Structure 1
Amino acid sequence: MIQTNDKLLCIRGNSFYSEGEVYTVGRIVNNKYFQLLTDNNEDHWYATLDEQGIYVSFDSSVAENSKAWFDKIA
């Protein structure tokens, strides 16, 4: 379960999220989608939590890798 202000560790980054950095969960949309803040905590992308894990998907023309992957920090 993901909650607002949880911390997520980026385990595979891309142009917007850096591997090894910790990011903060913003507003929860529903049990599958939520906001994941960027480095400055002023912008966000929508993340997905499903059977594959936690990730943010990007159009391949926008980001070098199409998905950034995360693990929840306990």
Structure 2
Amino acid sequence: MIKTGDKLICTSGNDFYAEGHVYTVGDFVNDKFFEIPTGCNDEYWYATRDSSGICIHFDTMATKVRNAHFDKLNNQIYA
């Protein structure tokens, strides 16, 4: 289960999220989508968690930005 304030490590980054960087889960939009701030100018993208993991999908015809993937850090690793 993911909740606001949890720490996520980026495992596959892109122009907005750096691989290996730790991000903090923001507000939940609904039971499926939640915010992950980019760390720049209060910007964020909506992430989701499904059977393949935690991901922000950027697959659009207009951009060539890769999806960003994350893993949840447990408190013992991050502390």
5+ long unaligned stretches in structure 1: none
Question: Please, what is the CA RMSD of the aligned residues?
Answer: 1.5
Question: How many residues are treated as equivalent by the alignment?
Answer: 72
Per the alignment, residue 3 of structure 2 pairs with 3
Could you state the TM-score of these two structures normalised by the residue count of structure 1? Answer: 0.87
Identity %: 50
Q: Counterpart of 1:28 in 2: which secondary structure?
A: coil
Could you state the TM-score of these two structures normalised by the residue count of structure 2? Answer: 0.82
Per the alignment, residue 32 of structure 2 pairs with 32
Looking at CA atoms only, which structure, 1 or 2, has the larger radius of gyration? 2
Q: Counterpart of 2:25 in 1: which secondary structure?
A: strand
**Post-superposition, which runs of at least 4 consecutive aligned residues in structure 1 deviate over 3 A?**
none
Which amino acid counterpart does residue 49 of structure 2 have in structure 1? L
| Further displaced range: 52-61 or 42-51 | 52-61
1:35 CA displacement: 0.5
